């Protein structure tokens, strides 16, 4: 009896298997959309555990997705200065590469209305429809409130060439070179030119509100404390407001005031040309040399005739290019302005946003390097 029941069960089982194989079973076969081998989320390889080991340097480098449309403003200290035109050229190159169909508005005040003019442009930027503004600040901390208002209105605010000292309203500063290093470079050029005997030197700066020049002057004073510069005597700091005529007059006033003056150090491309021209016009180049930060194309004759034997600078084209890349990435939401964020700036390669070690507050992207020029490489 047991055997018979077993046989019946076995026959029924075989029949049921056959029916299932032929598709006629009561239980439908799994629909093809239920992908058979699809890994369940829980079966996915486990995500790496958070660990204290920092990710490889290249892991988080953000590469720009081109073609996003953002209107941007490039605001120089003032219009009519060749170096700012070069920065605009670099920004245009980056814009083309990034295929931004939006606008790039290169706009600035006149040199004699720089402070009020910059504040006005930043204040009006949100109502002009701009999504980002790139500022070379000539208005010290006075620009902070309008930069902050622009941020609050949703604009991306990046500074380049000259930061907002307090960093109010500024997301990142694109530094052409390290500001402390600028002080050392200027001290070294002074030592090179004046030699072991040293002598008196004076600084002819841009405007008293120029954050970059002010920082460089402080850095140079700091550098001069090193005993190796003991024979260099800094006697004065004067301001030509980055205007040629005013700078020329200030250079001549220094000559009158300091009969033993041996060097004028001008950390401005406008000031250095004006001072060199003043010394040349007064036939004083044997007695008083000029150095500082200058544009080779504007300095070539003064370097060749010995009035300005040595000076330094960086590429303003690259500075504009790098600034545009960073600002595009921030304004399109592809990158955040946070310490440690990394991005690729086209032909210039990878950069990291860090704390600005030369200010109490603020973030920085450091470009570099310096190039020193003399009669051998000025052309």
**Chain residues in the site for ligand RAM (CB under 6 A):** 77, 81, 83, 136, 161-162, 206, 210, 212, 242, 268-270, 293
Most distant CA atoms of the chain, gap in Å: 133
CA distance 214 to 203: 11
**Nearer Cβ to ligand RAM, position 189 or 270?**
270
SS3 235: strand
**Nearer Cβ to ligand RAM, position 169 or 271?**
271
CA distance 11 to 336: 70
Minimum CB distance to ligand RAM, residue 365 (Å): 16
Minimum CB distance to ligand RAM, residue 212 (Å): 5
**Nearer Cβ to ligand RAM, position 216 or 328?**
216
Minimum CB distance to ligand RAM, residue 161 (Å): 5
Minimum CB distance to ligand RAM, residue 95 (Å): 22
Minimum CB distance to ligand RAM, residue 251 (Å): 15
CA distance 203 to 83: 20
**How many residues make up the chain in this entry?**
379
Minimum CB distance to ligand RAM, residue 319 (Å): 9
CA angle centred on 115, ends 134 and 159, rounded to 5°? 20
How is 164-203 classified by DSSP, letter by letter? -TT-TT-SEEEESS-HHHHHHHHHHHHHHHH-TT-EEEEE
Rounded to the nearest 10 degrees, how much is the dihedral formed by the CA atoms of 300, 79, 359, 206? Answer: 60
**Nearer Cβ to ligand RAM, position 71 or 161?**
161
Terminal-residue alpha carbon distance, the chain: 113
CA distance 172 to 365: 7
* Cβ 190 vs Cβ 201: under 8 Å: yes
* Cβ 243 vs Cβ 111: under 8 Å: yes
**Nearer Cβ to ligand RAM, position 206 or 329?**
206
**Nearer Cβ to ligand RAM, position 100 or 212?**
212
| Other Cβ atoms within 10 Å of 144 Cβ, number | 20
**Nearer Cβ to ligand RAM, position 70 or 272?**
272
Minimum CB distance to ligand RAM, residue 323 (Å): 13
Minimum CB distance to ligand RAM, residue 197 (Å): 28
**Nearer Cβ to ligand RAM, position 159 or 327?**
159
């Amino acid at each position: 009896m047991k055997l018979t029941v077993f046989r019946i069960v076995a026959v029924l089982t075989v029949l049921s298997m056959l029916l299932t194989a032929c598709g006629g079973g009561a239980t439908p076969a799994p629909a093809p959309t239920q992908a058979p081998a699809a890994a369940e989320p829980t079966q996915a390889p486990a995500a790496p555990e958070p660990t204290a080991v920092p990710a490889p340097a290249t892991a988080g480098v953000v590469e720009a997705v081109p073609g996003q449309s953002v209107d941007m403003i490039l605001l120089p200290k003032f219009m009519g200065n060749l170096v700012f035109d070069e920065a605009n050229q670099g920004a245009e190159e980056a814009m083309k590469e990034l295929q931004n169909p939006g606008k790039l508005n290169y706009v600035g005040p006149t040199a004699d209305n720089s402070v009020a003019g910059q504040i006005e442009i930043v204040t009006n930027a949100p109502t002009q429809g701009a999504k980002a503004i790139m500022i070379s600040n000539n208005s010290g901390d006075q620009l902070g409130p309008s930069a902050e208002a622009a941020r609050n209105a949703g604009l991306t605010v990046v500074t380049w060439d000259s930061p907002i000292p307090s960093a109010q309203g500024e997301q990142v500063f694109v530094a052409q070179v390290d500001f402390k290093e600028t002080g050392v470079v200027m001290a070294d050029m002074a030592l090179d030119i004046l030699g072991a005997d040293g002598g008196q030197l004076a600084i002819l700066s841009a405007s008293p509100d120029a954050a970059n020049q002010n920082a460089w002057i402080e850095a140079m004073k700091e550098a001069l404390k090193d005993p190796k510069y003991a024979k260099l005597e800094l006697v004065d700091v004067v301001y030509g407001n980055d205007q040629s005529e005013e700078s020329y007059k200030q250079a001549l006033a220094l000559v009158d005031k300091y009969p033993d003056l041996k060097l004028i150090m001008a950390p401005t491309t406008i000031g250095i040309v004006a001072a060199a021209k003043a010394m040349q016009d007064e036939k004083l180049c044997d007695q008083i040399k000029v150095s500082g930060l200058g544009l080779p194309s504007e300095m070539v004759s003064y370097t060749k005739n010995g009035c300005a034997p040595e000076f330094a600078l960086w590429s303003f084209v690259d500075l504009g290019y790098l600034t545009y890349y960073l600002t595009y990435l921030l304004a399109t939401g592809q990158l955040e302005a946070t310490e440690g964020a990394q991005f690729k700036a086209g032909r210039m390669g990878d950069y990291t946003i860090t704390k600005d070690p030369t200010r109490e507050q603020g973030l920085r992207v450091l470009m570099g390097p310096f190039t020193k020029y003399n009669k051998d490489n000025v052309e």
